[in-house]
A = this chain, B = another copy of it.
Amino acid sequence: MTWSKLSYNLFRAVKPRLAYEEFSLRYYSMPRRALMYVPGDDPKKIQKSFTIDVDCIALDCEDGVAANKKTEARELIHSFLNKEKPKRDRDYDLGVRINSLDIPIWKEDLKSCLTASHLPDTVLVPKVECPEDIKLFSEESGKLLQGDARVNLIIYIESAGAFLNIVDICKMADKLANVGKFLPVSLVFGGDDLYASLGAIKSEECTEVLYARQKLVLVAKAFKLQAIDMVHIKYKDLEGLKAQCEQGMKMGYTGKQVIHPGQVPVVQESFLPTATQIEWATGLLESFKKHQKEGKGAFTYRGSMIDMPTMRQAENIVKLAQLKKYQ
Residues of A at the B interface (CB closer than 8 Å) are 1, 5-6, 8-10, 12-14, 37, 39, 41, 63-69, 100, 102-103, 127, 129-130, 132-133, 158-165, 167, 190, 192-203, 207-212, 214-215, 217-219, 221-222, 231, 233-236, 249-252, 254, 259-260, 277, 291-292, 294-298, 300, 303-310, 312-313, 315-316
Q: Are B218 and A212 in contact (CB under 8 A)?
A: yes
Beta-carbon contact of B159 and A13 below 8 Å: yes
Whether A277 pairs with B13 at a CB distance below 8 angstroms is no
Is A254 a contact of B66 with CB atoms below 8 Å?
A: no
Number of copies: 3
Q: How far is the CA of A295 from the CA of B39 in the complex (A)?
A: 12
**A10 with B297: CB separation less than 8 A:** no
Point out the residue from B196, B304, B305 that lies within 8 Å of A316, measured CB to CB: B196
By CB atoms of chain B within 10 A, which of A5, A209, A234, A250 has the most? A250
User: In the assembly, what is the distance between CA of A234 and CA of B12, in Å?
Assistant: 32
A217 closest partner in B (C-beta)? B198
A-B contact pairs, 18 of them (CB 8 A): A5-B102, A6-B159, A12-B129, A12-B161, A13-B161, A13-B165, A63-B309, A195-B313, A197-B221, A198-B221, A198-B251, A199-B316, A202-B313, A211-B214, A233-B306, A235-B300, A259-B307, A260-B305
A161 & B259 in contact (Cβ 8 Å cutoff)? no
In the assembled complex, the CB of A212 is this many whole angstroms from the nearest CB of chain B, namely 6
Besides A67-B297, A236-B303, 14 new A-B residue pairs in contact (Cβ under 8 A), listed by A number: A10-B129, A66-B291, A67-B292, A158-B309, A160-B221, A192-B307, A193-B308, A201-B250, A209-B214, A210-B210, A211-B215, A211-B218, A233-B306, A259-B307
Residue numbers in B under 8 Å from A292 (CB-CB)? 66-67
Cα distance A64–B65 in the bound complex, in angstroms: 55
In angstroms, how far is the closest chain B Cβ from the Cβ of A168? 11
Residue of B nearest to A212 (CB): B218
**How far apart sit A165 and B190, CA to CA, in the bound complex (Å)?**
25
Instruction: State which of B199, B306, B308 has its C-beta within 8 Å of the C-beta of A221.
Output: B199
Tell me the minimal C-beta distance from A206 to chain B in angstroms.
Answer: 10
Q: Is the CB of B6 within 8 A of A197?
A: yes
Q: How many whole Å from A203's CB to the nearest CB in chain B? A: 6
Quick check: A277 and B201 within 8 Å, CB to CB? yes
Query: Are A222 and B161 closer than 8 Å at their CB atoms?
Result: yes
Q: Are A201 and B233 in contact (CB under 8 A)?
A: no
Distance from A13 Cβ to chain B, minimum over Cβ atoms (Å)? 3
- Closest chain B residue, CB of each to CB of A17: B161
Q: With A and B bound together, what is the CA distance between A206 and B225 in angstroms?
A: 23
- Which of A10, A197, A312 has most chain B Cβ within 10 Å? A197
Q: Would A193 and B309 be within 8 Å (CB), given that A162-B13, A210-B211, A218-B163 are in contact?
A: yes
Q: Are A69 and B277 in contact (CB under 8 A)?
A: no
- Complex contact B164–A167 (CB within 8 A): yes
The reply to whether A214 and B218 contact each other, CB–CB distance below 8 Å, is: no
Question: Is A233's CB under 8 angstroms from B304's CB?
Answer: yes
- Alpha-carbon separation in the docked complex, A193 to B282 (Å): 19
Instruction: List, in ascending order, chain B residues with CB within 8 A of A215's CB.
Output: 211
- Which residue of B is nearest A317, CB measured? B201
